[in-house]
Structure formats: C-alpha cells, structure tokens
Chain A
Amino acid sequence: MNELAEFIRRDRAWHPPADTPGYKSTTLRAPRRALVSLPQSIGELSGPVFGHDALGPLDNDLIRNYATDGEAIGERILVHGKVLDENARPVSGALIEIWQANAGGKYRHVNDQYRAALDPNFGGCGRTITDADGNYAFRTIRPGPYPFPNGDCAWRPAHIHFSIVGATFVQRLVTQMYFEGDPLIPLCPIVNTIRDSKAIAGLVARLDMDAMQPFDLLAYRFDIVLRGRDATYFESGGH
C-alpha cells in the first residue's frame, strides 16, 4: 500500500454540522468560520501504534473490570463487531475505548448530577484493540436512558460512547452506539444532529442472536467504518 495515498475527503454533510440548534450545547461551541481545507501530509497519514500488551485481561469486560463484591447489575450483553475502512478492508490494531452509564442511567463521573444510584460493581470504562481481521468485542451491561438539560428536559436513548484511534490521524473518530428498537432514538436531540436517516441507522446496533451466549449474554452487533484511502491511488500507484 502506498503510505502517502490520501484518504477520501470527509463527507461533512453526512456527519453532523457543528451548529445544531436542537442540541443547545452547540450554540456557543460551534465554530462559525468555514474549515480550512488542507492536503494530507505525513503527519496526517501516520498515527500512534498500540500494542496488545498495553491491555489488561479485563479491560474489555465491563461486567467484571470494576467489580469488588459481585458483578455489575443489569442486562448482560456482548457488544461486538468489525472495524472496516471505506474500502471495506478490516482495520487491525485500532484502539477502541468505550464509556457508558450503568443500568440505571448513572455515570461514574464526578460531574454527573443524575439522581439514579451508582452500581458499586460498575465503572463504565472499557478498551480493546482490534484483531488482525478488525474484530472487537466487549462484555458489558445495557446502559439505562437518562435525562439531560437541553433548554428543557431531554432524554438520551441507551447508548455507549465509542472512541476509535485508527492507523492515521485522519481516521480519528468519536461516536455513539444505540440499541435496535429503542423508542427514544428518534426523539433525541443529539441523535438528530445527524440529518441523514441512513447515517443514523449506521449507529444502531442490531440484536445478534447468532452471537448470544446461552444462559449468559444477549449480543448486539455494531460495525464501525473509518475513513479509507482514495482507491484511485491503488489503481494508478499514486498521483
């Protein structure tokens, strides 16, 4: 592969715009000027490398990785999938970090004011690195919905935050995963920062009965697509 092949430009109309009045927090935080577009140089086409030896054995098991006297409370689930690029090639070695509320919708965070109780056995933090085929998996519990101030009181659908560090600076992505069938999804002002319903559909994990673990875990499948290199470079060997 030509390491200097550029990545396909980001489709900014597919992503949420910076200023989305329905999600109030963007009002004072959205830049007003247009982005300055630059070509990708070596700094944008390289990125940090993560070794599997940096991971602890329970880092991808949120049911047990913060437990002191029992396992986390809630619906036990497996969240798994594959990280691909836009050319449908698997992305190996990607760092995936997740964070989420507990089954009652409460985050273990010094700034979370919600009245729901903490679960002493749940931290809500996990991480893993994709394998050679781009696969990842977490054991966790299904998070609860929770309210947040947005002018009035809005409610978040159950969701898991995903941070992905791919092979290059330009592939960096932070997003959120939702659960198939959740009636709060179409009501959420943060979901609705995305205009295209097909883009939203890509954030909804599907119930995956083929991967459920009998008498233990239900499974949800969530595939992630990072930016891929412009295919014309593969054909012509670069410009």
Chain B
Amino acid sequence: MAKLKETPSQTAGPFLHIGTLPTVAGLRVSQPERQNVLAGSRTLGGPIRIEGQIFDGAGALVKDAMVEIWQANANGQYGSNELRSWGRAATDFETGLFWFETIKPGSVSFRDGRPQAPHVSFSIFARGINIHLQTRMYFPDEAAANAVDPALKAVADPRLIETLIARKETRGADTVYRFDIRLQGERETVFFDF
C-alpha cells in the first residue's frame, strides 16, 4: 500500500517550450540545445532519422506539442555512454513536423524474458493533453520480430498494430522512419499504460 498519492498531472499547456526547449519559445539562451540529436560519430549502430506529425480529431496538425523519446542502444542497452538514449523535440509551429537523429535500437527483453522487437518509446505533451500520452514506434523492416513482440500482441485488434509501425523512406543516403501519431479517429494511435 502506498503511503502517498502521486502528484496529479496537469496539461503542459501551449507554452511548454519555455521550460523545456527555450530557444523554440524565442528565449535568448546560450546553452546548446540539440536535444533531438541522440547519436554522434562514435555511436554504434545504423544512423536513422525519425520524423512525423501529430494529428487531432479533426485531422488538423498539432503544432504546439513536445515529443520525448527513450530508446536502447544498438546492443539493446539503456544508458550507455555512446548514445544519448533520451531525446526531446517540438512539433514545428508551421509544419507540425518533429524529428530526431538517432540509431536503430537493438532488441530488449520483455518483463518475462521474451525478446521485444526493436522499438522507441514516445511520450507526448501538449495543450489539451491532461496527462502525457505514451506510445511506441516499431520498425517496418522487423516483421518477424514484430510478429512475436509481446507488447504488440497485447493490442487486441491487429489493424491497430499498424498505428505503431513506422513507414520507411530512403532519402538520398539517409534512412528515414516516418511515424505519424493520430490522437483520434479510425486510425487512432495505440497508447499504453505501464
């Protein structure tokens, strides 16, 4: 039995950038703020770019959100030195696009020891979101691993699993995984509770 109750959540509001990504809000701050670039030249694994947009129930772009990601390194470990496992990006005020430069993560065990397919954990914060939304991005080129992934198997409707699988695009020399998030509608993204 818990002794204390968790502090309740409140929306991050439309001006969340001031505290989390101040240069996006327009503040003059000197600190380097490449919070959406996780990998460098010494990072193990295949460099990838993740990008996407967030859509509301009317199909409109959500242009005032913040997206955080958390992922394992190429060996399936969290918190290694060569990869910044945690990243943060704003959706662009004009285009609604968020993006990260990282590497494709390795496989990590599920709680019961079964392997999970490579995935990136997402948390979404915005005006109109009372408590942050948690989801996962999976990779379309991991069909065999995805088919036995315990988290994806927990999604009852197989059509909804598709909302968690990015689309792969090759853009010049870059590998881009496109991951759009839909807050409502027929293709509403699956959100998790841990």
Contacts and interface: CB of A to CB of B under 8 A. Distances in A.
A139 interface: no
A108 B25 CA distance: 7
A143 B126 CA distance: 21
Contact of B191 (A36, A126, A193): A36
B71 to A, nearest CB: 8
A14 interface: yes
Interface residues of B, number: 72
B132 interface: yes
A209 interface: no
Interface stretch (B54-62, B96-104, B140-148, B169-177): B54-62
Contacts of B16: 99, 161, 163, 174
A44 interface: yes
A126 B19 contact: yes
Interface in B105-129: 108-112, 116, 121, 123, 125-129
A231 B3 CA distance: 10
A20 interface: yes
Contact of A163 (B12, B15, B62, B131): B12
A203 B10 CA distance: 9
Contact of B57 (A17, A23, A29, A174): A29
A15 interface: yes
B127 A28 contact: no
A44 B6 contact: no
A124 B29 CA distance: 12
A178 to B, nearest CB: 9
B8 A202 contact: yes
Contacts of B128: 23, 25-30
A99 B31 contact: no
Contacts of B125: 174
B50 to A, nearest CB: 16
A170 interface: yes
B5 interface: yes
A37, A85, A174 pick with most chain B CB within 10 angstroms: A174
B19 A125 contact: yes
A97 interface: yes
B15 A99 contact: yes
Contacts of A115: none
Contacts of B165: none
B121 A43 contact: yes
A37 B192 contact: yes
A7 B14 CA distance: 30
A87 B193 contact: no
Contact of A127 (B19, B27, B112): B19
Contact of B2 (A8, A111, A190): A8
Contacts of B192: 35-38
Given A25-B127, A169-B70, A169-B121, 4 more contacts: A18-B129, A39-B194, A108-B26, A170-B194
The 9 A-B pairs at the shortest CB distance, nearest first, are namely A99-B19, A25-B128, A29-B128, A99-B18, A48-B86, A16-B130, A86-B2, A35-B193, A28-B57
6 contacts: A27-B128, A28-B56, A49-B79, A125-B19, A173-B7, A174-B132
